[in-house]
Structure 1
Amino acid sequence: MPAQPVRHALNGRAGSVLGPSVPQTEEISVSAGGRHADGTTNTTPGGGLMPVQTAPRSQSGVTRDWIAKQPQTGNISSMIANLPGVVYASQSPLGTAGDHITMRGMNESQIGYLFEGAPLADPINYEPYTSMLVDTENLGSVTVSQGAPDLNAPLFNAVGGQISATEMNPSHKYGGFLSLMGGTHSANKEFLRLDTGDIGNTGIRGFASFSYLSNNNWRGPGGLTRYHVDSKFVKEWGDGNSITAIFGFNRQEQTSWREPTAAQWRQYGTSFNYTPTYYPGNSTYYKLNFGDLNSLDVIVPMHFTLAHDLTLNVTPYFVHQNGPSVGGENIPASGGYYGTMQYGDLNQPYSYVNASGQRMLTTAGVDPWNQKTGAINTSIDWTTGINTLSFGYWYSYTMHEELSTFSVVDPSGRAANAYGRYPITLADGSILSGYNLNFMQQVNALYLADTLRLLNDRLVLSAGFRAAMVYRQGTNDVPGAAPYKTTGNYFEPLPQFAASYQVTPHDQIYLNGTTAFRAPESVEAYSQIFDPNASHAVEQPGSLKSEYTIAEEIGYRHSDGLVNFQMSFFNINLTNHQITSSAYIPNTNMLISEPINVGGQTSRGVQGEIGLKPWHHVSPYVSAQYLHSTMDNNVPVSATNAAGQSVIDYLPTAGKTTVGAPKVTAAVGLAYDDNRQFFGNFDLRYVGSQYSTFMNDQSIPGYVVSDITLGYRFPRVGRLKGPKVQLNLVNIGNNLYRSAPGSYAATARTQKGIFGSSVAAGSPVYLTGGNFAALVTLSTGF
């Protein structure tokens, strides 16, 4: 089909960073009517891994030239794994499970995720859940800001940077796109998108798509099924006026992965899984351990030109996410606990007697979390001469409900009464529960920014101030919960400054100073967690202090007709660092987030990337980062003194390397595309060793993973536009490895604290990287 130009949606002049109409991201939006049916144009340097950037901060991205050639089962996080400083920890070779990412020593809960300008991550535990946001076939671009969030972004957790994703724009022409995929692990995906094209002279165009995805787990029994709908409609008129309506729906069920300790990895390797058969007392039966990710998202970005020099931006959005998460557990048939209250006989069938002679029930512990957020982000920008003044306000309200229940498992291994729909109740009619949480969050944020352009726009100076106010209130209705009600009030002043200078049309230098904060993560930070096997809380509230960062960067970038290069040096000082550790509730298979306050952290380093535009159809790419991230304080820990009493002591962790922060990461890519028939990619990623304990006495070794893409485009056949076949080979060396710590511990060996008390050893668990996979995709436009 004839070539059409790529549309660069750069709102405002190059180098502007503050205010909605001058964002710090360069978002490249490719319509479905691009040069090829899949949206690729073969114009982005590095094979789609290095779009041109102008913002005065470290920033990288991917475009359709890269996204369309990756496995169609992937997600936003897996697409950016090769960018500098990004450490993506795979759990599935298909990219369908998990969002574990670190950047500059901070994980995904400390990184702000935006989709079409709205924060669709969980606003309390900050989990991004990118696998349910958008189908890869509709993903237009992803931009990563490794250290600094936008001043105007509706975020209050982005101490570690920001990831912004956009959907492809609807085509101006009527048509659609069909994709069929199959491969190893019984993977299959069917995707269909229909474009309306321009609807008469209304200025409206849009698309709607549906997909079905399923696969078996690559290790252990079980698998995934996913139903997904995307839709985007655009109305444009006048001088830059537009209204966009974005809708997403996701229904997904995934069998959980068991995460081994170091000892279990050595003994079992990839065989440490949930079991395929059931017997009474087997709480690790795979059908009792799974999670649902259900969501409905509505985003309506609006842009209005009020006058020649005055613009208004309004983005209302609504997000509904719910579970359940399910984990197997054996509980006492009588004499167990509901909170701190002991119950009598539960009068349930299918009990058994354990090795200690206690009568027990095997149950499915159901956590049907339910969360709704309504919000609006607004801003107004006034430009006069060389000056742009921006003012904005963001309001968000979230309700979160989480009532854990238990459902008895029958002799066939099926949880009775549809996984907790009719849960176990006590004699007085109360529902047996470990936690009954009701949580409310209200956010107000104001910002004011000014951008000054001097020397014919070569010198751009930006300064701004943001005030973020977060109020939280949580209750736990389980008997004995203390406190029953917890509140949190957070007010943080957040100044920013940035400057850039265009030395030549191809060379830019920049520097910035930024601040950010993160309110405490997860409802577990505010509430106790109970369990029928214990007379007291098995999880206590975490630290309620907020993280705060002060960061500086200085960088240089070069971009000409062939070579793109950028390098930056950074320094980040973080106070009240809340390291997030996933841990199992004792005696259960239910994971919860545990925020641990380890004090201060300092991260310093250098990152860079270089990519070539297609040269004789070849586009190489290289990225790397060196990170020196250390803990600033000694960590307080529970210990036992010489008299056998429980006390608080400190471990000498000051100066130790931060957990989950590899010193060296690198990626190499080589793309080939003749823009007619043949195309292919090769990429290789190296992630250095990572510590999992604050004392640096346990770690995982560094690892290498490499992938290959091979593809062929057929000539147009009838109404079929750009039919192609694509082969993706993932982890071609079938490297079996631990990809990241899944939890952290103070020490892996018994230690003496600073005051002489004995500190017990802990056992971190680990994520296991996916093995080899081969996927074949047939697709075509029409």
Structure 2
Amino acid sequence: MKTRFAVRLSASLLPLLMGATPALAEAPAPPEIEVVGHPDPEGLLPDQTAPRSVSAIATDFISKQAPTLNAFQLVNLLPGANVAMTDPYGLSVSSSLTLRGLGQDEIGVLMEGAPQNDIGYYYAYPAQFADNENVKAVTLTQGAVDIDSPLVGTAGGLLSLTLDDPRARRGAQLDLSAGSYNEGRLFARYDTGLLGTSGLRGFVSYSFNRADNWRGAGFDTRQHVDAKLLDEWGNGNRASISVSFNDADTSTYPGATLAQWQAQGRGFNYDARYTDGDTNYWRLYRSPFRNLYAAAPVHLTLGDGLTFDSTGYFQLGYGNSPYGTQLTTTGNYQGTTLLTQPIVLPGAEDGVATVLGNYTGQQMRAGDVAKLIWHPGAHTITAGVWFDYGTDHDIQSYTPIDAGGTPIDIWGYRSNAIKTADGQLLAYENERTITVTKGVFVADSIAVTPRLGLDLGFKGVGVLHSGMNYLPGPQSVVHFASFAALPRAALHYRLDDRQQVFANVATNFRAPDEYTLYNSYDGGALAGAGTTALRNEYAVSEELGYRFIGPVLSLSLTGFHYHFRNRQLATVIDADGALVNSTVNAGSQTSYGLDAEVDYRPVRGFSVYLSGEYLHARIDSDLPVDGDLLPTSGRHAVSSPTVQFGLGTTYDRGRLFGSTALKYVGRQYSTFTNDESIAGYATLDLSIGVHLAGLVDANRTDLRLNVINATNPHVLSGVEAISTNAQDTTGRNGTPISGTAPVYYIGSGRAFVVTLARAF
């Protein structure tokens, strides 16, 4: 329940956090304004009516968490969400999210209705998303996503961020944070209020975050800008444009094999000091990225029960995921061509030099999803189209380093990269891909009775990859087109004012990522053959659910079932020092289980939230390897813990507020043969704070302490790179199949963060 009270702005406030900016202080005496008080912390299980599994967190919960947490960390408590983090502040790109055992490349991400996933590899990077102070809600759909979602490959579900609207009154916010590992963060936001009689209002924010690595040498920095301009008019008409810009220079924490973890534990790190020939020096593993995201959603009421919605979007991004390696002045190849002339390697000794191996990606993406919604009688008919165009240029090049091991250019720009004797860029990989996605969808939501609703829908999606391999060799142009027909249906029945049941059946597909199309070369020989024969992954899923929404207790139970054909699993392999993306066709898979969440609010200002998941995920077929069949049928699917549960509490009444978040994740297998796994583990986050409003003036002023990973568990938090089998195995037909060690994320350590947040 929200309480509201009126106050007058004061023109004489204390400086900085206890005072307004001069521009605000010089304003004329304002009229009375409403200030939102302290709402009950009932934001972990918002009311839902969709005929599918949906979980969400809102501002009430987000505002109590550490401001450094990214969107993956924020949804960690929700059912089915398995989050593996390598640093407590969520700044590193070394992280993972799975839903119901389905990986990050199977989970769509939207922000203000615009897709955030990488167009080539389908991953999304949560450290690039909007600052938490600007996020109004985070919604997690564990199964069937909205039919109009501009995404492919969403069998795992959808993570959707909604930004806060600009406020109707002019104001500002300033948050300062300090914490463990020299963490320091500043966040500042300015709201324009209504701009004259135009109806427009907007906000712009800036944040800067810096922290030392919690293990090993190195540090992370992140600068971020969010802005949103909104106009609302007439009968529900609304248009906005939002922009997010992210500039980060973050560390890549090294993943460990089980043997490395058992031998060194958290001591398994990159080297803190450089010595000649060292390819493991920490400065060779920093990942700088710059990204720009823009979204322009529009909602128009056209009259006679007809509305129009459109979301246009645009993205730009460039970054480097480098590594340390060595080159020789002679004996090099460009693709399959031997370089007869030696290359110039600064700092080479005896013809060998340590260099920065770059993996740079430059992306551009633009698109729009538009739909008409018509309400004739008991029907709600939706028809729409989606168009998406993107380009992705990926290069693995090499950059010199100085005598101290510092790269002369961490961004991997071509102007500073090592060239061949005739001036060409020396590259291990050089490919550019254009991806065009077209979709059409139509749906009808029928109110059969006042209590019973029936949804029917169809979506057709085509994906085209057209690319060029610039390396000399047998491959130049690549082309791959695929199409999928995706029918769906759902039922929703309201038992009474508090109880609902629902059921749905949905289909989904994932086109092979662009990296499967290209050859890779090593020493002039073909190391991996690109293919257009990899089939689309296709999934059929069903859900059956029950919801109860009460004044004190709310709960949701959802049973689910999946069947996959051509299950695609992403991994990373090390090809002679170069990191290469790879996809494994794991054949057929069947999964079923139960998600549950309960929110209990015994007294005003206090809530207890409990979530859990049981997952049975099994591989249905043997895996072809080395001309034989690896015995995988009936094995447990990788990265699919059988049991997870979360326990969260929130308190917000009077001066004090706080929250707890406990999450347990069960055992996870990392190979298809189930011959290696990591044990289950638990994490605990705590927060406690005090509302200071009223001590100086009525403006919101909060002081809080967050403890991330309070119990400081020494664990492996997830699977970074799967393998077919860890131990040497004999195939069904008697062929010896050598084992390869999987790689794991090392779970992050404990951190303390103190934040002073002040509204003006």
Both structures adopt the same fold (TM-score exceeding 0.5): yes
Structure 1 residue 497 corresponds to structure 2 residue 493 = no
In 2: Cα distance, 1:248 partner to 1:267 partner: 42
Q: 1:396-427 CA distances to partner (integer Å, 9 max, x unpaired)? A: 10011122221122212122466553211112
Counterpart for residue 216 of structure 1: 212
Counterpart for residue 41 of structure 1: 39
In 2: Cα distance, 1:345 partner to 1:717 partner: 73
The equivalent position to 1:446 in structure 2, one of 433, 440, 448, is 440
Q: 1:478-502 CA distances to partner (integer Å, 9 max, x unpaired)? A: 112x322221111100001001000
- Matched-pair contact (CA < 8 Å) for 1:42–1:614: no
Q: Which moved more, 1:556-565 or 1:115-124?
A: 115-124
Task: Please tell me the residue identity of whatever aligns with 2:501.
Answer: I
Task: Please tell me the residue identity of whatever aligns with 1:42.
Answer: D
- Matched-pair contact (CA < 8 Å) for 2:617–2:637: yes
Q: 1:204-237 CA distances to partner (integer Å, 9 max, x unpaired)? A: 1111000001111111111211110000111011
The equivalent position to 1:750 in structure 2, one of 705, 724, 728, is 728
In 2: Cα distance, 1:165 partner to 1:777 partner: 23
Structure 1 residue 578 corresponds to structure 2 residue 568 = yes
The equivalent position to 2:145 in structure 1, one of 146, 149, 152, is 149
The equivalent position to 1:527 in structure 2, one of 496, 518, 523, is 518
Give, in angstroms, the shift of residue 717 of structure 1.
5.3
Structure 1 residue 93 corresponds to structure 2 residue 88 = yes
Distance 1:755 1:43, change over 3 A: same
Task: Please tell me the residue identity of whatever aligns with 1:425.
Answer: K
Counterpart for residue 432 of structure 1: 426
Where do 5+ consecutive residues of structure 2 fail to align? 6-32
Give, in angstroms, the shift of residue 3 of structure 1.
3.2
Structure 1 residue 347 corresponds to structure 2 residue 344 = yes
In 2: Cα distance, 1:162 partner to 1:301 partner: 18
Give, in angstroms, the shift of residue 342 of structure 1.
2.0
- Matched-pair contact (CA < 8 Å) for 2:464–2:479: yes
Give, in angstroms, the shift of residue 279 of structure 1.
1.8
Counterpart for residue 454 of structure 2: 461
Does the residue aligned with 2:358 lie in a helix, a strand or coil? strand
Does the residue aligned with 1:106 lie in a helix, a strand or coil? coil
In 2: Cα distance, 1:107 partner to 1:33 partner: 44
- Matched-pair contact (CA < 8 Å) for 1:141–1:167: yes
Q: How does 1:347-496 map to 2 (within 5 A)?
A: 347-353=344-350, 359-416=351-408, 419-420=412-413, 421-456=415-450, 458-480=451-473, 482-496=474-488
Counterpart for residue 611 of structure 1: 599
Does the residue aligned with 1:301 lie in a helix, a strand or coil? strand
Task: Please tell me the residue identity of whatever aligns with 2:428.
Answer: G
The equivalent position to 2:681 in structure 1, one of 693, 703, 708, is 703
Structure 1 residue 740 corresponds to structure 2 residue 736 = no
Task: Please tell me the residue identity of whatever aligns with 1:620.
Answer: V
Counterpart for residue 10 of structure 2: none
- Matched-pair contact (CA < 8 Å) for 1:245–1:300: yes
The equivalent position to 1:665 in structure 2, one of 637, 644, 648, is 644
In 2: Cα distance, 1:236 partner to 1:131 partner: 31
Give, in angstroms, the shift of residue 34 of structure 1.
6.5
Does the residue aligned with 1:156 lie in a helix, a strand or coil? coil
Structure 1 residue 177 corresponds to structure 2 residue 167 = no
Give, in angstroms, the shift of residue 434 of structure 1.
0.7
Does the residue aligned with 1:504 lie in a helix, a strand or coil? coil
Does the residue aligned with 1:525 lie in a helix, a strand or coil? helix
Q: How does 1:196-345 map to 2 (within 5 A)?
A: 196-343=192-339, 344-345=341-342
Where do 5+ consecutive residues of structure 1 fail to align? 6-31, 354-358, 639-647
Q: 1:157-215 CA distances to partner (integer Å, 9 max, x unpaired)? A: 10111111101111111101110001001111100000111222221111100000111
Q: How does 1:624-663 map to 2 (within 5 A)?
A: 624-638=612-626, 648-663=627-642
Counterpart for residue 680 of structure 1: 658
Structure 1 residue 74 corresponds to structure 2 residue 66 = no
In 2: Cα distance, 1:34 partner to 1:153 partner: 35
In 2: Cα distance, 1:388 partner to 1:58 partner: 21
Give, in angstroms, the shift of residue 2 of structure 1.
8.7
- Matched-pair contact (CA < 8 Å) for 2:390–2:434: yes
In 2: Cα distance, 1:223 partner to 1:582 partner: 24
Structure 1 residue 127 corresponds to structure 2 residue 123 = yes
Q: Name the count of aligned residue pairs.
A: 728
Distance 1:340 1:720, change over 3 A: farther
Task: Please tell me the residue identity of whatever aligns with 2:123.
Answer: E
- Matched-pair contact (CA < 8 Å) for 2:685–2:708: yes
Does the residue aligned with 2:263 lie in a helix, a strand or coil? helix
Counterpart for residue 3 of structure 1: 3
In 2: Cα distance, 1:373 partner to 1:535 partner: 34
Give, in angstroms, the shift of residue 719 of structure 1.
6.1
Distance 1:2 1:634, change over 3 A: closer
In 2: Cα distance, 1:399 partner to 1:496 partner: 31
Distance 1:253 1:538, change over 3 A: farther
Counterpart for residue 536 of structure 1: 525
Give, in angstroms, the shift of residue 544 of structure 1.
2.9
Q: Which moved more, 1:341-350 or 1:318-327?
A: 341-350
Task: Please tell me the residue identity of whatever aligns with 2:257.
Answer: T
Counterpart for residue 597 of structure 1: 585
Structure 1 residue 693 corresponds to structure 2 residue 671 = yes
In 2: Cα distance, 1:691 partner to 1:34 partner: 50
Counterpart for residue 548 of structure 1: 538
Does the residue aligned with 2:181 lie in a helix, a strand or coil? coil
* Identical positions, percent: 32
- Matched-pair contact (CA < 8 Å) for 1:538–1:586: no
Task: Please tell me the residue identity of whatever aligns with 1:653.
Answer: T
Give, in angstroms, the shift of residue 538 of structure 1.
3.7
In 2: Cα distance, 1:179 partner to 1:33 partner: 21
In 2: Cα distance, 1:530 partner to 1:290 partner: 25
Task: Please tell me the residue identity of whatever aligns with 1:618.
Answer: F
- Matched-pair contact (CA < 8 Å) for 2:44–2:56: yes
Give, in angstroms, the shift of residue 371 of structure 1.
0.4
Give, in angstroms, the shift of residue 749 of structure 1.
1.0
In 2: Cα distance, 1:422 partner to 1:679 partner: 52
Counterpart for residue 114 of structure 1: 110
Q: 1:532-554 CA distances to partner (integer Å, 9 max, x unpaired)? A: xx232444436632111101110
- Matched-pair contact (CA < 8 Å) for 1:566–1:608: yes
Give, in angstroms, the shift of residue 718 of structure 1.
5.3
Q: Which moved more, 1:570-579 or 1:329-338?
A: 329-338
In 2: Cα distance, 1:772 partner to 1:33 partner: 39
The equivalent position to 1:770 in structure 2, one of 728, 742, 748, is 748
Distance 1:720 1:413, change over 3 A: farther
Distance 1:4 1:494, change over 3 A: farther
In 2: Cα distance, 1:208 partner to 1:678 partner: 30
TM-score, with structure 2 as normaliser: 0.93
Give, in angstroms, the shift of residue 118 of structure 1.
1.0
Distance 1:570 1:33, change over 3 A: farther
- Matched-pair contact (CA < 8 Å) for 2:41–2:652: no
Distance 1:615 1:592, change over 3 A: farther
In 1: Cα distance, 2:729 partner to 2:216 partner: 36
Q: 1:654-698 CA distances to partner (integer Å, 9 max, x unpaired)? A: 110000000000011121111x31011112110000000100000
Distance 1:486 1:34, change over 3 A: farther
Does the residue aligned with 2:481 lie in a helix, a strand or coil? strand
Q: Which moved more, 1:303-312 or 1:534-543?
A: 534-543
Distance 1:453 1:748, change over 3 A: same
The equivalent position to 1:105 in structure 2, one of 94, 101, 106, is 101
Counterpart for residue 8 of structure 1: none
Give, in angstroms, the shift of residue 4 of structure 1.
4.7
